Structure 1
Amino acid sequence: MMQFDLVVVGSGPAGRRGAIQAAKLGRKVLVIEQGKRVGGVSVHTGTIPSKTLRETALNLTGWRERGFYGRAYRVKQEISADDLRRRLLITLDHEVEVLEHQFARNRVQHMRGKAHFIDPETLEIVKDDGESVQVKATSVLLAVGTKPFRPDYIPFDNKTILDSDELLEIEHLPRSMVVIGAGVIGIEYATIFSALDAQVTVIDPKSTMLDFIDKEIVEDFTYQLRDRNMKLILGTKADKVEKDADGRCRITLDNGRILHSEMVLFAAGRMGATDTLNLEAAGLAADSRGRLSVNPETFQTSVPNIYAAGDVVGFPSLASTSMEQGRIAARVAVGAIAKEPPKYFPYGIYAVPEISTCGLTEEEVKQRGIAYECGIARFRETSRGHIMGLDSGLLKMIFSLKTRRLLGVHIVGEGATELVHIGQAVLNLKGTVEYFVENTFNYPTLAEAYKIAGLDAWNRMGDLSQPV
């Protein structure tokens, strides 16, 4: 039986980063992946595919140029599912090639097959041909990720009634789509297909959406969606989904309203992919959504030699945070020192338009009783915004009145997920409003919005360098 210092189950962001970190520390590492190729959900059905689909849609439709040339402007008049898939396959091949090279360069062994526990230190891997092999592990890192939640009352058919994984394999672009679920995944795909000129309706039983995002940003985002004729039906549940005789989908809501659509995307949550691990043999148990509980500082489970990281441990379920969780878990697992990451990390939603946020929302600041002031900049106020033809986009910063420190930065609009890192750095370095007022930003850039928002807040707060 083969013996390893660390066995990693799953090769997504948490698994790959954890495995490479342990290998760089001189440990013998094995990665087990049940998919046909390494990369996990992030590479094959999640992060990379959805972001590639978004970029392809924006490029082929000419979305970014419509501010100048009008809504009828197109780069390619007839866009097909094959057009989207072509770029996706090229991107995925590149990602897999890079990952395989990283494993080879760091001498990380990897094996294809489904793993399950025999005991806390022994795993059995069953390969596609039925052959099985057992391995011993001093420590185990579970980075199995998640899979779409598929309730029994939804008649999935892999053609017109789909989950978010199946959506990547569609053969034609629908003219209309109903998205059930107004979470991050549902909203991202809903806005992407809206950019592809599908008539999109989003349904969610909650009366609000994206509650962890600053309310003012969500309001601006919602206005932009409704302005391009997306329908948001919130506070209403989809009771039944059926196929009509003509092949179209019929969606019956709990208020009796009936919707018709060419395609239905069910994106109301995901489940931890732990059901095949035989967790009981290792002394572990998952919650009702298949997630594992861990120490948030070490990512150690209730079984001392078993760790878990990534989406399988729940919020925030981001590829970026999963990588850091995997790295920290691997260091702790092999007995190395692991520093706690900085307090504030960015959250990105790759919708159309993008949303990105870091730090406290205005609602959280109010709940904590902190005296504060906000600074706002709209992208149309910047010269770069005019050059790009932007008529929307908003950057908001929140500052403490007492310390003048930045408390949160929230952005909706073009390039939000890139721009947020300036605010993230200032947050973690405990910078104040004076940083934005006194520093020079490249001109013309969208980053100049930080200067505008900083001046907006500074003018409201008053200049402390002047005598009263």
Structure 2
Amino acid sequence: MAETYDVVIIGGGPGGYNCAIRAGQLGLKVACIESRGKLGGTCLNVGCIPSKALLHTSDMFRAAQEDFESMGIKTGKLDVDIEKMIAQKDETVEGLTKGIEFLFKKNNAEYIKGRGKIAGPGKVDVEGPDGSKKTLETKNIVIATGSEPVSLPGIEIDEERVVTNTGALSLTTVPKRLILIGAGVIGLEMGSVWSRLGAEVTVVEYLDRIMPGADSEIAKEAQRTFKKQGLTFRLGQKVTGVEKMKSKLKLSMEPAKGGETETLDADVVIVAVGRRAYTDGLGLENVGVTTDKRGVVQVTDGHFKAADGVWAIGDCIHGPMLAHKAEDDGTAVAELIAGKAGHVDYDLVPSVVYTNPEIAWVGKTEDQLKEEGVEYVKGKFPFMANSRARTNHETTGFVKILADKKTDRILGAHLMGPCVGEMIGELCVAMEFGAASEDIARTCHAHPTLSEAIRQAAMGVEGWTMQM
């Protein structure tokens, strides 16, 4: 007899495991199938979490080299132990994956190791790591299989010298010459890590700008800052291939608008040109579910439902490919299955780039508002004028708030500076409640704090910024 569940989730990443935990909390019988052997998905195992561990460690190394002396701290000769750095990253990941397993047990969610495939309506086949097979019967199937990196024609990924984010997080030595293909979030973060540790980093990007999803003013300021930190940018370039030679790699590129081919030498190439939904081989055709050319599941209700009794979340559906978006999707779907109201506002999903300085934004960019013909007012405040930033010697960047010219409702917020990944939450809450810029401007903020820059930018919308 097949085991019967209220919900079976295929995929144990941020979307899947949050869906499982919430379903268990709501009293549903739930199982979550994960083929990796560890819960947490790309984010926890080879993405968000390990990259932040290396970003933090490498930034401490940079600060000790460049900032300590000016603050009166004397140090001896500094060196990098890559093996230990990678080990502490792995230790952090291991602890967090075990933590998710504990939450499963606490909330009566079953964790099944293996590969899941939809066999038909209400049926999921599971092949275990040992080759054993069983079928689960369920009222609801949730597709939460996440995404995988994409490459380019002429480039063979080996995760040793030509790597994705997975290989970039496990390099055993600091490459002398590193080339990043792609100037998006993943590329810039990985470039920052290895640049701080001594690599010569060149970023090759097809577009004529970095961070295509960010506000263009923020992107321009970020590029200037990264150039000062040692990154070299080759924008408007189409990569045509990477040749593997015995002692080096040779990357070929040509102008995106046409022109002569040029080559660059490298020891390591990181390919960070985007991701596609991981939905092949899931048996979607057995329940009438279709995908687009990038593997994204086509939903029938505008939200999460892909077919009767079949739901899809996270990177498998449209919307930003971000772990926290997937988490909210998973929670919402569990609540919808339980008969409650589940909803995610994709216009208010924040984005964060964990470089130094950090970059964060939510809502509309100036570029979008201009394109849409929306009349808006801008308030802007530099961290150079923030007292806490000055005392911390972290003065690069600014806060920009965009508000509707007629109603003063906040339409977007764009930050670059220290700890803005933490600070963006205040603006998300404000926008969730439909706040005006004046609401933030008249809310008392502790002094001296970095968050005062948000308040001052909000004051600037109506022209009454007053703090140095």
- Cα separation, partners in 2 of 1:284 and 1:438, compared to 1, 3 Å: closer
1:371 is aligned, of 353, 369, 375, to: 375
TM-superposed CA distance for 1:428, in Å, is 2.1
**CA distance 1:456–1:263, change in 2 (3 Å):** same
Distance across 2 between alignment mates of 1:186 and 1:402: 39
SS of 1:271 mapped into structure 2: strand
- The percentage of aligned residue pairs carrying the same residue is 26
Give the alignment partner of residue 300 of structure 1, picking from 305, 309, 312. 305
Q: Distance in 2 between matches of 1:74 and 1:244?
A: 40
Task: Please list the CA deviations of residues 81-120 of structure 1 after superposition, one character each: whole Å capped at 9, or x if unmatched.
Answer: 2132122122112211210111001111111111112112
Aligned to 2:248: 248
Contact 1:380 1:386 in 2 (8 A): yes
For residues 212 and 321 of structure 1, the distance between their equivalents in structure 2, rounded to whole angstroms, comes to 16
Q: Residue 375 of structure 1 contacts residue 398 of structure 1 at CA under 8 Å; is this kept in 2?
A: yes
Contact 2:17 2:39 in 1 (8 A): no
Distance 1:376 1:76 in 2: 41
Indicate conservation of the 8 Å contact 2:174/2:198, yes or no.
no
Structure 1 CA distance for aligned equivalents of residues 319 and 52 of structure 2: 20
2:315 to 291, 311, 315: 311
Q: If the length of structure 1 is used for normalisation, what is the TM-score?
A: 0.92
> Offset at 1:448?
1.2
State the match for 1:277 in structure 2: 282
Match of 1:431 in 2: 435
> Any conservation in 2 of the 1:67–1:391 contact (CA below 8 Å)?
no
Query: 2:296 matched to which residue of 1?
Result: 291
The 3-state SS of whatever aligns with 1:85 is helix
2:360: which partner in 1? 356
Question: What do residues 262-282 of structure 1 show as CA deviations (whole Å, max 9, x unaligned)?
Answer: 110111121222122122222
Distance 1:439 1:117, change over 3 A: closer
Residue 466 of structure 1 is matched in structure 2 by none
| 1:398 maps onto 2:399 in alignment | no
CA-to-aligned-CA distance 1:409-430 (integer Å, 9 cap, x gap): 1001221111111222222222
1:104 equivalent to 2:108? Answer: no
How far apart are residue 438 of structure 1 and its match? 2.7
**In the TM superposition, what whole-angstrom CA distance separates every residue of 1:244-296 from its partner, at most 9, and x where no partner exists?**
33x21111112321111111011112122212212222222322222212257
- Partner SS for 2:326: helix
For structure 1, the residue ranges without an aligned partner over 5 or more in a row are: 462-468
Query: What is the SS of the residue equivalent to 1:237?
Result: strand
Say if 1:67 and 1:389, in contact at 8 Å, map to a contact too: no
1:205 aligns with 2:202: no
Q: Which residue of 2 aligns with 1:192?
A: 193
For residues 288-307 of structure 1, give each alpha carbon's deviation from its aligned partner in whole angstroms, at most 9, with x where no partner exists: 22221225754011x21110
Q: Secondary structure at the match of 2:211?
A: coil
Asked whether the 8 Å contact 2:252–2:264 carries over to 1, the reply is yes
What CA distance in whole angstroms lies between the structure 1 residues aligned with 2:418 and 2:41?
Answer: 28
Contact 2:10–2:144 at 8 Å: present in 1 too? yes
1:55/1:131 CA distance change after superposition, 3 Å:
same
Q: CA RMSD in A?
A: 2.3
SS in 2 for 1:264: strand
Say if 1:76 and 1:371 are closer, same or farther in 2 by CA, change over 3 A: farther
1:413 aligns with 417
Q: Which amino acid in the other structure matches residue 14 of structure 2?
A: P
1:373-392 mapped onto 2 (5 Å cutoff): 373-392=377-396
Quote the Cα distance in structure 1 between the aligned partners of 2:74 and 2:419: 21
**Superposition TM-score, scaled by structure 2 size:** 0.92
Q: Equivalents in 1 of 2:281, 2:270: separation in Å? A: 26
The offset of 1:343, in angstroms, is 5.3
1:364 shift after superposition: 2.0
How far off is 1:310 after superposition?
0.7
How far 1:149 moved relative to its partner?
A: 1.5
1:445 alignment partner, SS class: coil
Structure 2, unmatched stretches of 5+, are: 255-259
Whether the 8 Å contact between 1:61 and 1:75 is mirrored in structure 2 is no
Cα deviation 1:53-87 (Å, max 9, x = unaligned): 211211233269628639x9988722132132122
Q: Return the alpha-carbon distance in structure 2 between the equivalents of residues 2 and 51 of structure 1.
A: 39
Q: Is the 8 A contact 1:12 1:41 kept in 2?
A: yes
Tell me if the contact between 1:174 and 1:262 (Cα under 8 Å) persists in the aligned partners.
Answer: yes
Contact 2:358–2:420 at 8 Å: present in 1 too? yes
Determine the structure 1 residue equivalent to 2:118: 117
SS of the residue corresponding to residue 417 of structure 1 reads: helix
Q: 2:25 aligns to what?
A: 24
Q: Does 2:47 correspond to 1:43?
A: no
User: Within the alignment, does 1:264 sit opposite 2:265 as a pair?
Assistant: no
- CA drift of 1:231 comes to 1.2
Residue 149 (str. 1) matches residue 150 (str. 2): yes
Deviates more, 1:72-81 or 1:275-284: 72-81
SS at match of 1:396: strand
Note closer, same or farther for the CA distance 1:389–1:369 as it changes in structure 2 (3 Å cut): same
The aligned residue for residue 257 of structure 2 is: none
Q: 2 CA distance for matches of 1:352 and 1:41?
A: 23
SS in 1 for 2:169: helix
Pair 1:116–1:79, CA change in 2 (3 A): same
Partner of 1:93: 94
Q: 1:321 aligns with which of 312, 315, 325?
A: 325
Shift of 1:220: 0.7
